[in-house]
Structures are given as C-alpha cells and as structure tokens.
Amino acid sequence: MDSKKSRGIGHILLAALFFAFMTFFVRISGDLPSMQKAFFRNFVAMLVAIGILLRTPEKFKIKKSSWPGLLMRSACGCAGLICNFWAIDRLRIADANMLNKLSPFFAIIFSYWVLKEKANWKEWLAVIVAFIGALFVMKPSVSMEFIPALVGALGGLGAGVAYTFVRLLGKQGERGPVIVFFFSTFSSLCILPFFIAGFTPMTGKQWLYLILSGVCAMGGQLNITAAYTYAPAKEISVFDYAQILFAALLGFIFFDEVPDVYSLIGYVLIIGAAFYRWAMGRKEQTNGT
C-alpha cells in the first residue's frame, strides 16, 4: 500500500471517530432547534479554521480556479448537514449515521459528471446493493415515521455530492483548511437568519455540548478533507464506515439504543457493498487493471 493511501485511511478513521462524537454531542444537547445546533457546529469549525489559516504563509488566499468547486461543495454540504442534523434528533444515532454514509455511493454517481471518473459494473452493483440496504434502514411507509429516514438519506446525497467536489478541489491543489473554512463560513451565513429567528435559550451544559460538537466537526472535516485529497473515494471510503460502529456503541451505552432487525439487515448490505467495492478495487489495482 502506497504512503498516500495509508495516510488517507488514517485520516478517514480519525474523521469517523470525530463525526461519531459530533453526532453524540448534537443528540445530548437536548431539545433545541436543528438550525441552532447546525449553526454552532459550523461557527465553531469556522473559528478553528480561521486560527489555522492565520498561521499559514498564504493566509486566506484562494485559487481562482477553486471558486466554482468551493461554492458547490459548500451549498451541497450545507444542505446535507441540515438534513443530517434534523434526522439525528428523530432517528437512532446509528441509523442516522448509516443513512448519511450513503454519501460514498452517491459520490460514485456524481464523480462520473464532475470528475469524469467512470465506475465499472462492480461499482454500480455495489451502489444498487447499498441503496437496497438503505430501504431496510428507512423502512418506507405512508406514515410520518418514514420522513426522518428520507431526510437522513437526502443528507447522504448532499454529503456525497459535496465530497465529490472536495476530491475535485484536492486535485486542483486547493488547501484543506481553505476548503473547511469556506464551507463552515458559507454554512454559518446561510443558517444565521434561521438561528436568530428561532433561537432558544440554553443551559451551560447545552452550550458546552454544542461547542464540543463544533470542535468534533472541525476535527472530522479536516481529516475527511485530507483523506479525499490523498486518495480517491473508491479506494478508502470503506473505512469511513467505522463511524457506524462508533455511533452504535455510543447510542447503546448512553441511550440504550438497539437497532431493529431491518436496520441490521440494512447495515450488513450497505457495509457489505462498501467492503465489496473496496476489495474489488484493491484486486484490480494488484492485477494492474
């Protein structure tokens, strides 16, 4: 395994841990508006990114060619984040995380148009199996209980498109902290009017939990951005599913959450599809195809 891929795997595992804890802190912050939680997550990450960029020689310099990619990454990422946060408060933590982790499969689809990276039939098979698994987690029905799961899946769609543009920006040579700063600032500004209009007073613990969610989000963003700049999503994204294990463990310990049989079947199908796609990619690379 080359050094770049090893670095990518290391970063994506760290990102999985950070994002699992971000989800945990969002949940334990209590009954607050989703937009309020999303604002803190982005605003804290923006402040940390500013601190990092101020210590670099280039400061806030952005490549001219990066602007379209940064705008698309930020718009899609912001939409996906809002959907994900709304779903976190209404689903089991592991379910919400699993639906968000449909993002690599959406990334395969959109990489075809954005990056001109063509997927083979094995990768398309993995996408189909993953989406079947998502149906088990979502449990489609005519009842309102289906809505949070659908919104959670839309969060995965937004994240998948966003990560496709992260990969594009990485190939263009844009710096990771710049990508994180731009996304966090863009999202904070978009969410700010909703945050002000629906602000709910918070206790000291709630302030602490939301600040920690932002710190964890920053750690996750920096690592996921680094991961996808070191290696293509199809080579390392399977390791991102460690987040489901971390989230399920946190949900079980702190909220007594146990996934039902249908969700477990969905987990197996989605993670199995991700592992299959990763294993096939390694085999093809070894064979020189």
The position carrying tokens 């997550």 is 41
Give the residue among 236, 212, 226, 211 at the shortest CA–CA distance from 179: 226
| pLDDT at residue 233 tops 80 | no
How far are the Cα atoms of 34, 73, 75 from residue 194, in angstroms, in the given order?
10, 21, 16
What is the rounded average pLDDT for all residues in the chain?
Answer: 86
Note the pLDDT tens digit of each residue in 245-281. 888 889 999 888 888 898 889 889 988 888 887 777 6
Instruction: Tell me the residue range of the domain where 239 lies.
Output: 3-287
How far are the Cα atoms of 234, 257, 285 from residue 220, in angstroms, in the given order?
19, 24, 28
Q: Is 187 left (phi over 0), alpha (psi -120 to 50) or beta?
A: alpha
Note the Cα 145 to chain centre separation in Å. Answer: 23
Q: Model-level pTM greater than 0.95?
A: no
The vertex-136 CA angle with 275 and 22, nearest 5°, equals 65
Q: What is the pLDDT of residue 279?
A: 78
Residues 6+ apart with CB under 8 A from 178: 53, 60, 61, 62, 66, 70
Q: Could you tell me if 166 and 179 are in contact, meaning their C-beta atoms sit under 8 angstroms apart?
A: yes
Q: Could you tell me if 209 and 15 are in contact, meaning their C-beta atoms sit under 8 angstroms apart?
A: no
Higher pLDDT, 259 or 232: 259
Neighbours of 145 (CB within 10 A): 11
Q: What is the pLDDT of residue 1?
A: 53
Q: What is the pLDDT of residue 110?
A: 84
Distance of alpha carbon 234 from alpha carbon 127, whole angstroms: 12
Domain count within the chain: 1
Note the pLDDT tens digit of each residue in 82-130. 999 999 888 888 898 888 888 878 888 888 788 777 777 777 888 888 8
Highest average pLDDT, of 131-135, 189-193, 238-242, comes from: 189-193
Residues 6+ apart with CB under 8 A from 3: none
Locate 262 and state its tokens: 């249908």
Locate 101 and state its tokens: 């982790």
